[in-house]
């Protein structure tokens, strides 16, 4: 029979983990086998700077958290084998995928991406890699705003051209009358 205090601690941890996953805009599950301490520290520092919460988690506790929020029906639990670390980002859905995909490419197979999730939808490791290829959030916003600004700029140029043509015509008439 498990110790009631240990069981209560584990249940509290599962509740916190479920809340963290539910509030995250995106997350990535990785297999960290073969990473050394220096590289892990460097990776954690980079993730922390990007606002990503990265932690090693027991598969059973992560599975209970996924069941609690409904991810068990999305087959996230099939990826919970071997060593597992979870990186979640509350704000930027691309940050964790980008940093971890870059690191996985450099690690020569020691570090691999298992799966991920974005806004309550489980994605495969290939989809995480595709998500990592997206430009940063600020650049996407700039592109959207540029696209919205283009028709307005075109309208201003057309109206400006008509006024300019009117001024040139009036100037020509004034020069003719003056001569």
127-159: pLDDT as tens digits: 888 888 887 777 878 887 777 777 777 666 777
CB atoms closer than 10 angstroms to residue 42: 13
Neighbour order of strands in the sheet with 52-56: 52-56, 85-89, 26-31, 112-118, 121-124
- Only one residue has tokens 């954690």, namely 44
- pLDDT for 1: 57
Report yes or no: 112 and 125 within 8 Å, Cβ to Cβ: yes
What's the pLDDT tens digit per position in 75-129? 666 777 888 889 998 888 888 889 988 888 887 777 888 888 888 788 888 888 8
Rounded Cα distance, 12 and 4, in Å: 12
Q: Which of 33 and 158 is assigned the larger pLDDT?
A: 33
| Residue 179 pLDDT exceeds 90 | no
Rg (CA), the chain: 27
Looking at residues 35-64, what average pLDDT do you find? Answer: 88
Residue 163: which pLDDT band, with cuts at 50, 70 and 90? confident
HEC string of 5-34 equals HHHHHHHHHHHHHHHHHHHCCEEEEEECCC
Nearest to 101 by CA among 111, 91, 90, 88: 111
CB atoms closer than 10 angstroms to residue 31: 19
Report yes or no: 53 and 87 within 8 Å, Cβ to Cβ: yes
Side-chain-side CA neighbours of 12 within 13 Å: the count stands at 6
pTM: 0.71
**What is the pairing mode between strands 121-124 and 52-56?**
unpaired
Torsion of CA 42, 62, 98, 95, to 10 degrees: -90
């Amino acid at each position: 029979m498990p110790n009631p205090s240990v069981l209560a601690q584990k249940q509290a941890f599962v509740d916190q983990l479920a809340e963290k996953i539910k509030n995250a805009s995106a997350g990535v599950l990785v297999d960290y086998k073969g990473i050394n301490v220096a590289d892990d520290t460097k990776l954690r520092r980079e993730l922390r700077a990007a606002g990503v919460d990265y932690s090693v988690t027991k598969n059973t506790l992560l599975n209970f958290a996924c069941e609690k929020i409904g991810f068990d029906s999305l087959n996230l639990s099939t990826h919970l084998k071997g060593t597992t670390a979870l990186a979640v980002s509350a704000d930027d859905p691309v940050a964790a995928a980008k940093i971890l995909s870059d690191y996985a490419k450099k690690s020569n197979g020691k570090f691999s991406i298992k799966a991920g999730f974005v806004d309550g939808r489980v994605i495969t490791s290939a989809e995480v890699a595709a998500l990592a290829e997206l430009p940063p959030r600020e650049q996407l916003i700039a592109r959207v705003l540029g696209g919205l600004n283009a028709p307005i700029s075109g309208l201003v140029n057309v109206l400006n051209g008509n006024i300019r043509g009117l001024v040139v015509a009036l100037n020509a008439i004034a020069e003719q009358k003056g001569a």
